[in-house]
């Protein structure tokens, strides 16, 4: 299984527009330039895209993403949904068939509201997107492995937490972005995974995201072999903030690739 971090930033990106020059982050370090969060997972050749940030096109060009077979929207917030129009290129590459889109009932409503022209079995014409919408099941059985889903609290909405298990290798990856906490069910599902990716917004508390301390506590309970933090603000400076992380816990960065 391969995990590619397309983006690792919070909803405003890093740096944000008109960021204070005295923000405690070294913008000379490319690892501190964060586009909005999403990941691409390759499970035994199957290309799964999780979320589509505003920078979707630039991310896919940068990482040379050749195909998307399956799209999962974790929740309907702007920084995860607004890049979905760019999925049209992958519809073209599939020969004009609809891309399967999985999400919550609530987030699928947002897809219908924002991209009404794309909710159809065939694109309007070449160059248009087409999405076939499906409610995310608790467990998706695929030829290449399984994808398990569990709801995570995120303020007014629920985010889908995802655990991927590749059939051929047994590799396990948990992707838990945008959540105020990890539920006991989610914790159990991810326990002992090879890689866990956790929302870790910033050191200060936030009502709908885990801060660094909560993410560290969750990492400690989940006990993945390696844990990567994502969805960070400009309060996290890669070099200096990494020094206070325990062994096997890391800040992810845009373009980081992990073979699991």
Binding site for Zn ion (CB under 5 A): 11, 77, 79, 178
Whose Cβ is closer to Zn ion: residue 86's or residue 178's? 178
Nearest residue (beta carbon) to Zn ion: 77
Residue owning tokens 């937490």:
161
Work out how close the CB of 54 gets to Zn ion at its nearest, in angstroms, rounded to a whole number. Answer: 11
Round to whole Å and give the CA distance between 137 and 149: 7
Round to whole Å and give the CA distance between 135 and 89: 23
Q: Which helix (H) or strand (E) holds 251?
A: strand 249-251
∠ CA 199-253-176 to the nearest 5 degrees? 25
Whose Cβ is closer to Zn ion: residue 77's or residue 89's? 77
Work out how close the CB of 66 gets to Zn ion at its nearest, in angstroms, rounded to a whole number. Answer: 26
Round to whole Å and give the CA distance between 90 and 130: 10
Work out how close the CB of 228 gets to Zn ion at its nearest, in angstroms, rounded to a whole number. Answer: 16
Whose Cβ is closer to Zn ion: residue 79's or residue 194's? 79
∠ CA 182-185-191 to the nearest 5 degrees? 80
Work out how close the CB of 39 gets to Zn ion at its nearest, in angstroms, rounded to a whole number. Answer: 12
Whose Cβ is closer to Zn ion: residue 158's or residue 178's? 178
């Amino acid at each position: 299984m391969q995990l590619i971090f397309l983006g690792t930033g919070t909803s405003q990106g890093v740096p944000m527009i008109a960021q204070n020059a005295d923000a405690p982050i070294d913008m000379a370090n490319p690892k501190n330039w964060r586009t909005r969060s999403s990941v691409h997972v390759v499970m035994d050749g199957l290309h799964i895209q999780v979320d589509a940030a505003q920078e979707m096109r630039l991310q896919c060009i940068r990482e040379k993403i050749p195909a998307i077979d399956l799209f999962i929207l974790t929740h309907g917030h702007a920084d995860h949904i607004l890049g979905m129009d760019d999925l049209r290129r992958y519809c073209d590459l599939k020969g004009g068939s609809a891309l399967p889109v999985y999400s919550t009932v609530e987030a699928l409503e947002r897809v219908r509201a924002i991209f009404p022209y794309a909710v159809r079995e065939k694109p309007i014409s070449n160059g248009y997107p087409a999405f076939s919408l499906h409610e995310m099941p608790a467990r998706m059985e695929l030829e290449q492995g399984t994808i398990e889903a569990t709801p995570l609290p995120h303020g007014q909405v629920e985010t889908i937490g995802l655990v991927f298990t590749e059939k051929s290798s047994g590799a396990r990856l948990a992707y838990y972005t945008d959540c105020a906490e990890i539920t006991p069910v989610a914790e159990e599902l991810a326990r002992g995974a090879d890689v866990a990716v956790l929302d870790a917004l910033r050191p200060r508390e936030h009502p709908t995201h885990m801060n660094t301390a909560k993410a560290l506590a969750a990492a400690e309970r989940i006990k993945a072999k390696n844990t990567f933090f994502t969805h960070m603000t400009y309060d996290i400076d890669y070099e200096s903030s990494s020094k206070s992380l325990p062994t096997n816990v890391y800040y992810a960065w845009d373009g980081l690739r992990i073979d699991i």
